[in-house]
Chain A
Amino acid sequence: MNEQDSHPTGSSEVTPTGEFGSGAVRLDQGHVVGDGGIPERFQNPGFAPHIHRGADIDHAAAKRAERTVGGLFLLSILGTLGFIVAYFAIDPEATIFVPGIGQNKALHIALGVTMALSLLGIGFGAVQWAKTLMPDEEEVEMRHTMRSGPEARADFVSILDDGAESSHLKRRPLLKYTLGGALGLFAVPVVLPVLGGLGPMPGDDLSVSYWNGPKEEDGTYANTPLRLMRDPQNTPIKASDVTIGSVFHVMPDGLLDLEEHLLEAKAKAAVLLMRLDPDIITSQKEKDWGYEGIVAYSKICTHVGCPVGLYEQQTHHLLCPCHQSTFDVTQDCKVIFGPAKRPLPQLPITVDDEGYLISKGPFKEAVGPSFWERGSV
């Protein structure tokens, strides 16, 4: 006995009768009287007894359902008309008080509410219609085998064979192979421009920043010292301005003169400047690359490149707001919490003749998140 013929219509316990024709099943007819023991196979219990809806048996209820559905559709019509009226009639600057929200633009509220009525009226009406008035009979559709009959299958094979034969495909292999090659290759010009259109390879773009200075003709960088400038004021910073506990948001001198790709350059060159008591800095490299406790670190998180700007001056922690990576500034910005993998790159700094802070060189590694070629350029 398989799934198909276990159905009540195929078994002897059921007599299909009733007002819906001999193909339909009365749901109280599917049950088998048990004998107390566990049967070898459980019989299909059939459907639960069918309960008729109010609208199926009561004419008044059906009328009520009709009115409900009609009312919902009418509500939708009114909503749509209301939307049109509100669109033209309500002053866009007018405000009304909405409890729990406060003063709001009357037009927005009106448009939102009328559009909701317009759409929900249709939706709720349709569902209510289906649930109360549309046919409510459980119908059974029998499965049939997917496989075609042996005759049809043989026919199909012979048609293919005939085609191959009559088109000389079997007798003239040259046609077969050249056509195969042509069809195989014709897709290449479709795919090629897509791959080519991905743009030039990034080269060393990800590994250098504005702090490297302009690129020379031989592909090297000038590495000229650049002044550290306040962002956004674009004014140079004296070392004496940076008191302990201070934090400065820094960009390189001249960055704003860039005529193109300014934001990309700024995103790579953004630096956070902090002053700590030199005695609490544990890394000798951090001290050497700083200036009397003033240290400059890339502001770009090594996880996915968010700006790490949340500096806690008491704990000397730098927190990235995106995924809570935390860097300890006293330990050369080592990661002490979160998903970041590498410490923030430090920018070596010193002061110039006038006492302004300048870079002593570029970042010694690529800033920001990891990428395949990182460290190879």
Chain B
Amino acid sequence: MNALAARRRHPAAIAILLMLGLLVTGFAYAAVAPQPAQAESSTAQDVTAGKQLFLANCASCHGVNAEGRVTGNGDKIAGPALAGVGAAAVDFQMGTGRMPLREPGIQAERGDVQFSQKEIDQVAAYIASLAPGPAVPSEEDVDPTKGDPGAGGELFRVNCAMCHNAAGAGGALTRGKYAPSLMGVEPKHIFEAMDTGPQSMPVFNDNNIEPKDKRDIIAFLTAIDEAPQQGGHALGSLGPVTEGWFAWFFGLGLLVAAAVWLGQKSA
């Protein structure tokens, strides 16, 4: 201590102290600061393999460096820039078969998955290496058994039900677009969709709906998906449209048939 005290007037002391202070602050910040989400356990090989897959399957629309491409037809884009969309967006789009896009249209539709999960992970690693973005959620993040379906239901009805229907059956948007059904969707894809806001869907980032709350929503959707339907035909759970159609078609049909029978001459 004496040695230190003796050198406190050394010309370099201020500089060393300043350096020490900066280092401590920097490390402390790094320790407590929110981590930008990054795909875990991705190696350099994954990124390289992902880039190869990207060039072969995605670059025609998204550009060779994922910078996005315009079509030349007004300001319509062939594919948006992908820097910063994160691994979650790739895992969602490719994992639900929406990408690679089968045909241009008003909306990319769910379809057969074209790639193995390993290949999807590689492309995700490549895209995540371009710029930080939402990561693929962990198993625990999306485990429906750990969520609270009641709390999730409340969040779902405020944030999701107006587009996806109170029963998660989906619904129409403007000009041919639609919110898809959420029944039978993998929990991690639900999480990723909230995190990244694919297509028309707004973003529900982790500051808006916390990861714990997202898991509650997943638990709610799993619960209503698995709930037994013992009250008759659900008619797609689409509410007044299908129910009204059924009543008009079958109810009126029966009444018309009865009227015809009543009005028929008996001889």
Residues of A within 8 A of B (CB): 51-54, 56, 95, 100-105, 108, 127, 131-132, 136, 230-233, 238, 240-249, 274, 307, 309-315, 317, 319, 321, 324, 326, 337
Contact = CB atoms under 8 A, between A and B. Distances in A.
Interface stretch (B51-59, B97-105, B140-148, B158-166): B158-166
Given A108-B231, A233-B213, A337-B174, A53 B267 contact: yes
20 contacts: A56-B267, A95-B230, A101-B232, A132-B266, A136-B266, A232-B158, A233-B155, A241-B208, A244-B203, A246-B203, A246-B205, A309-B162, A310-B162, A310-B163, A312-B177, A313-B197, A313-B201, A313-B203, A314-B199, A321-B162
A231 B202 contact: no
B202 A313 contact: yes
Contacts of A103: 228-230
Main secondary structure of the interface of A (DSSP, over half): mixed
A51 B205 contact: no
Interface of B is mostly: loop
A241 B205 contact: yes
Contacts of A315: 174, 200
B261 A127 contact: yes
Nearest to B261: A127
Contact of A248 (B197, B208, B228): B208
Contacts of A52: 267
Instruction: Report which residue of A103, A105, A243 has the largest number of chain B beta carbons within 10 angstroms of its beta carbon.
Output: A243
A327 to B, nearest CB: 10
Interface residues of B, number: 33
Contacts of B213: 233
A201 to B, nearest CB: 33
Give 10 nearest A-B pairs by CB, closest first: A309-B162, A241-B207, A247-B202, A312-B200, A131-B266, A53-B267, A245-B203, A313-B202, A51-B267, A246-B203
B266 A53 contact: yes
Contacts of A245: 197, 202-203
Interface in B30-80: none
A2 B206 CA distance: 87
B262 A105 contact: no
Contacts of A242: 208
B180 interface: no
A245 B171 CA distance: 20
A301 B266 CA distance: 57
A52 B262 CA distance: 18
B171 A249 contact: no
Nearest to A319: B174
A291 B68 CA distance: 29
Contacts of A232: 154-155, 158
A243 B179 CA distance: 21
A187 B199 CA distance: 65
Interface in B66-96: none
B228 A310 contact: no
